[in-house]
Each structure stands twice: as structure tokens, then as C-alpha cells.
């Protein structure tokens, strides 16, 4: 028996449905209580683009991986040059010399693929580390704002179909993140 993949949206939809059914079944008395519920909305895409911590993380990753990226690009250009040489001069080469060049190109391509795989793996690992660090900081700031400004619920855009601008607290979070960065 296989387990279906976890889908947070399904759970969120079920929770919202249950809450709505409860609110509707309890009648108008609860409606006035529900109107005092304070809800906030966060656009995490904006946070990831504009938060100073996110910008700094991107710069760190760029600095950390730029030399390896340049090295991979140089290796790819070297392979392309060898392939051009083979295409241009291959007919005039001796059988053994052409076979050696083809073998050299094939070996360099395999080496490049391994190096690219290692690069992607290392980059993804570091990116995930940086994102986790940023997520902890953003979560701390969201909780801080929620407690200080008495929010009952704060939602992120990946679970929201519509959010009015008046409940969007993304700018507050960005301002707080900017202050905590300094």
C-alpha cells in the first residue's frame, strides 16, 4: 500500500472548511466574535526578494560559488573548442589521432558532468542552509509582530487565494528584518 504524498493545501482546505462550518452553525452570535479576529497576510516571495538577509545570503552564495562556476564554464568552452577542432580537422587527421581526440573529448565531457553534478549538489545544500536560516529569522519576526500587534492568525500566500491589502503585513516584516539586520 503506498502512502499518498503530503499536500498541505488539502489539510488547510479541510481546516478552513471545518472552521467555516462551525462558524455558520453557531449562528450570528459567533459572527460578531469572528469579526474581532485579527488576520494578517505575508507575501513570502517579496520577503525572499527584498529582505536584507535574503540579499546578503544571495551575495554570500555568489561569492562562494563564483570561482567554481567560472571553472565549469571554462571547461565547457575547452570542450567546445576541441569539438570544433575535431569537426574542422577530423577528416584530415590520422585514424589514431582522431580517436585520441574523440576519447579526450568524451573524458572531458564526463569529468565536466561529474563536476557540474557536484557543483549543483553543493550549491543546493548551501542554498537550503541559507533558506533555513532566513526562514528562522522571518518566523521569529512574524511571531514578534503577531504578539505585539495582537494578530490571531497570519497566513502566507501559498495557502491563500485572496488577501486584502489591509491585512498584508509583508512591509512590516521587511522593515523589522531591516532593523534586525543592522
Paired strand residues for 18: none
pLDDT at 169: 85
Q: C-alpha cell of 124?
A: 543546493
Phi, psi of 99 (to 5 degrees): -60, -40
Closest C-alpha to 42, from 179, 150, 146: 146
Q: For 89-118, what is each residue's pLDDT tens digit?
A: 989 999 999 999 999 999 999 999 999 999
Mean pLDDT of the chain: 84
Q: How confident is the model at residue 155 (pLDDT cuts 50, 70, 90)?
A: confident
Closest C-alpha to 34, from 23, 42, 44, 26: 23
Q: For 33-78, what is each residue's pLDDT tens digit?
A: 556 788 888 888 899 889 999 999 999 999 999 999 999 999 999 9
Q: How confident is the model at residue 5 (pLDDT cuts 50, 70, 90)?
A: low
pTM score of the predicted model: 0.67
Question: Which residue would you say has higher pLDDT here, 4 or 88?
Answer: 88
**Topology annotation, domain 55-181:** Protein Binding, DinI Protein; Chain A (3.30.910)
Cα distance between residue 106 and residue 112, in whole Å? 10
Question: Which residue would you say has higher pLDDT here, 84 or 18?
Answer: 84
Q: How confident is the model at residue 158 (pLDDT cuts 50, 70, 90)?
A: confident
Longest dimension (CA), the chain: 93
**Strands, E, within the chain: which ranges?**
39-42, 153-156
pLDDT at 89: 92
Amino acid at each position: 500500500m503506498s502512502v499518498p504524498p503530503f499536500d498541505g493545501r488539502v489539510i488547510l482546505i479541510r481546516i478552513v472548511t471545518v472552521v467555516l462550518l462551525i462558524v455558520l452553525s453557531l449562528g450570528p452570535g459567533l459572527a460578531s466574535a469572528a469579526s474581532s479576529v485579527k488576520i494578517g497576510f505575508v507575501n513570502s516571495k517579496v520577503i525572499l526578494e527584498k529582505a536584507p538577509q535574503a540579499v546578503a545570503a544571495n551575495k554570500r552564495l555568489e561569492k562562494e560559488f563564483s570561482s567554481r562556476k567560472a571553472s565549469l564554464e571554462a571547461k565547457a568552452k575547452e570542450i567546445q573548442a576541441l569539438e570544433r577542432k575535431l569537426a574542422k580537422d577530423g577528416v584530415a587527421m590520422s585514424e589514431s589521432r582522431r580517436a585520441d581526440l574523440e576519447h579526450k573529448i568524451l573524458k572531458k565531457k564526463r569529468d565536466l558532468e561529474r563536476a557540474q553534478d557536484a557543483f549543483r549538489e553543493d550549491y543546493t545544500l548551501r542554498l537550503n542552509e541559507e533558506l533555513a536560516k532566513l526562514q528562522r529569522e522571518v518566523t521569529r519576526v512574524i511571531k514578534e509582530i503577531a504578539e505585539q500587534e495582537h494578530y490571531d492568525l497570519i497566513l502566507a500566500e501559498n495557502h491563500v487565494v485572496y488577501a486584502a491589502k489591509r491585512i498584508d503585513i509583508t512591509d512590516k516584516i521587511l522593515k523589522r528584518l531591516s532593523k534586525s539586520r543592522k
